[in-house]
Amino acid sequence: MKKHPMRLGTLLKAVCLLSLISAGNAFAASLDEVLGVRSSTTVDGAKSQAKIDKLSEQTQDLLTQYKQVMKVVDGLRIYNKQQRRLISNQEKELAELEESIDQVTVIERQIGPLIERMIENLEKFVDLDIPFLMGERIERIEFLKDTLDRADVSVAEKFSQVLQAYQVENTYGTTIEAYTANIELDGKSRNVDMLKWGRVALVFQTPDGETTGVWDNKARQWVILGD
């Protein structure tokens, strides 16, 4: 019976030892869990920071691209503004040009008949004038008539040619010219020497010097001198 207390003590020691071992194991397990959570949290934080850094870089890249795009957009706005001004000026010039063309068209319509009347009046004037250099003057009038019907000659050029013809006729009144020509005397064509003194006098003489005459413009005939 004395051996029972010893067995009981031994049993109690064994129970205590098992309790300590169990508690130690439980503490170790809890510590591992805590450390595992902390390690997992650290890894997750690093990943999150990496994502944040990556997003920050992407955001910076996008911001840089946005600034570049805005520079291009601003440049296009300025260019478009310049183009609008240019187009506006061109439209204004085009409108003025169309108006000028319309005016020219009206002027051409008015000048055409005017040129024709001027040629007709010049022809009548030559017919009624002293008959000097008739071949040259008639040829000039025929040229003006032919030019009047030509589509390849501008109205301005036609008008200029008519004005030149009028200037030539005007010059005849201040010049003295000697030339030979054929005139009709007594129903016959005679080659004679002519002397034109402006529009004051037109005198002829036959080559042999036997016949001299002067033009009477009122009577529209030659008057023989010395008869």
Q: Would 207 be classed as within a structural domain?
A: yes
Q: Would 209 be classed as within a structural domain?
A: yes
Q: Would 112 be classed as within a structural domain?
A: no
Q: What is the 3-state secondary structure (H, E, C) of the chain?
A: CCCHHHHHHHHHHHHHHHHHHHHHHHHHHHHHHHHHHHHHHHHHHHHHHHHHHHHHHHHHHHHHHHHHHHHHHHHHHHHHHHHHHHHHHHHHHHHHHHHHHHHHHHHHHHHHHHHHHHHHHHHHHHHHCCCCCHHHHHHHHHHHHHHHCCCCCCHHHHHHHHHHHHHHHHHHCCCEEEEEEEEEECCEEEEEEEEEECCCEEEEECCCCCCEEEEECCCCEEEECCC
What's the mean pLDDT in 169-190? Answer: 93
What is the chain's Cα-based Rg?
A: 62
pLDDT-derived band at 95, boundaries 50, 70, 90? confident
Q: Would 220 be classed as within a structural domain?
A: yes
Q: What's the confidence (pLDDT) of residue 48? A: 72
Q: What's the confidence (pLDDT) of residue 16? A: 53
Quick: pLDDT tens for 114-156: 999 999 999 999 999 999 999 999 999 999 999 998 999 998 8
What residues contact 206, with CB distance under 8 A and at least 6 apart? 190, 192, 193, 212
Q: Would 190 be classed as within a structural domain?
A: yes
Quick: pLDDT tens for 59-84: 787 778 778 777 877 777 887 788 78
Q: Supply the range of the domain harboring residue 210.
A: 176-227
Q: Give the total number of structural domains in the chain.
A: 1
Q: Would 223 be classed as within a structural domain?
A: yes
Q: Would 203 be classed as within a structural domain?
A: yes
Q: Would 200 be classed as within a structural domain?
A: yes
Quick: pLDDT tens for 188-209: 999 999 999 999 999 999 999 9
